[in-house]
Amino acid sequence: MNVRTRSIVAATAAGAMLLLGLSGCAGASSANSGEPLVGLIIKTQDNPFYVKMTDGAKTEAASLGFNLQVASGDGQSDVDSQIKAIENFTAQGAKAILITPAGDGIVPAIKKAQQAGIVVFAMDSPLGEGSGVDGTFATDNKLAGELVGEWAKAALGSTPARIATLDLSTDQIPVDVARNQGFLEGFGIDLADPTKMWDENDPRLIGHEVTDANEAGGRTGMEKLLQKDPTINLVYTINEPTAAGAYQAVVAAGLQGAITIVSVDGGCPGVTNVKQGIIAATSMQFPLEMSKQALQAVKAYLADGTKPQNSEGLDFTNTGVTLITDKPQQGVDSEDTTFGLDKCWG
């Protein structure tokens, strides 16, 4: 009885605190309710990319006079939580929704929101044709891969290439495929099917491993690849945390200096690693630009119904990608790490 009473008291106290906390939040967000409501739905909060995107959106929304509210999904591919967020923003009477889609599964929910008169822009991950979004602001991930591929080709020069790739997952998800295939194309390798990774037949390709795009996966993946073939001299990595892990494996094998690691992303720890020579070159993307340009597009649309124009040859507005390296190569445009540390996110 005693224990039970105590647990009831504890639970009640916790519940009361939770309610107080929630009502505090609600109070804060309803303060500027006179302005048009714009909902921002990100994929997850455990990636500084989206945190930076959110920060940028808040600043821009304040200067454009929007009431910005932010919701987050439960993971990189959790569509369900994003659908709920779309429904909630619709119910709240949002004028516009900006979303970083976790998958194609949210398209029906987007259509419903549009029928309710809401303009919907996608960010970061294009949903592809037929999705019916009113505009998309994203990094050209294929181009991001191509830039590091071209750079690596020039940097290796006449040395015969022994290439390995550290990819995200076995699921062939769009960003994974675009970066990997872009890199190989930039390096001058025949892609076979450009919508599929790992179907190439080039003898310069030694192997690939999947990494979950984090340090632990990068290290283990690189160890396996080196065990398979220690003559690898060029490694493409899906992102910079993966590259940082791969570098640890390279050091452990005593091969630093013999292996060039390239990556994609442009996070500040990644650019720091470029400066340190851990990563040779990385393609930087610009999450701040995505939310900024998307909010400006919302402003334009609400004023006179204009929708954003896609970049030439793409089904989205390219928010830019810049190669960051301290070893510039002839014929490949790049910026150094001073520029990189100034512009990096996270």
Q: What is the contact surface with another protein in residues (CB under 8 A)?
A: 3-4, 6-7, 10-11, 45-48, 50-51, 170, 198, 209-210, 212, 214-220, 223-224, 227-228, 241, 244-245, 247-248, 251-252, 267-270, 272-273, 276, 278, 346
Residue 316 near residue 138 (C-beta atoms within 8 A): yes
3-state secondary structure of 92: coil
Let me know if 51 is exposed, middle or buried by CB neighbors in 10 A (0-12, 13-18, 19+): middle
> Could you tell me whether strands 135-138 and 317-318 are parallel, antiparallel, or unpaired per DSSP bridges?
parallel
Radius of gyration of the chain (CA): 23
Kindly tell me which of 2 and 30 has the beta carbon lying closer to another protein. Answer: 2
CA distances from 190 to 42, 200, 313 (A): 35, 7, 21
| Sheet containing strand 96-99, strands side by side | 67-72, 37-42, 96-99, 119-123, 135-138, 317-318
**Which of 153, 208 has the CB closer to another protein?**
208
CB of 68 to another protein, least distance (A): 19
On whether the CB atoms of residues 123 and 102 are closer than 8 A, the answer is: no
Residue number with CB closer to another protein (94 or 278): 278
Residue with tokens 């065990």: 227
Rounded Cα–Cα distance for residues 191 and 169 (Å): 18
The whole-angstrom separation of Cα 290 and Cα 139 is 8
Question: What's the N-to-C CA distance of the chain in angstroms?
Answer: 51
Q: How many CB atoms lie within 10 A of CB 58?
A: 15
43 and 75 Cβ atoms separated by less than 8 Å: yes
Token code pair at residue 42: 């990100």
Which amino acid is present at 170? T
Q: Is 316 exposed, middle or buried (0-12, 13-18, 19+ CB in 10 A)?
A: buried
Nearer to another protein, 255 or 300 (CB): 255
- State how far the alpha carbon of 239 is from the alpha carbons of 58, 141, 167, 207, in Å: 26, 11, 9, 17
Question: Cβ 7 to another protein, closest distance in Å?
Answer: 5
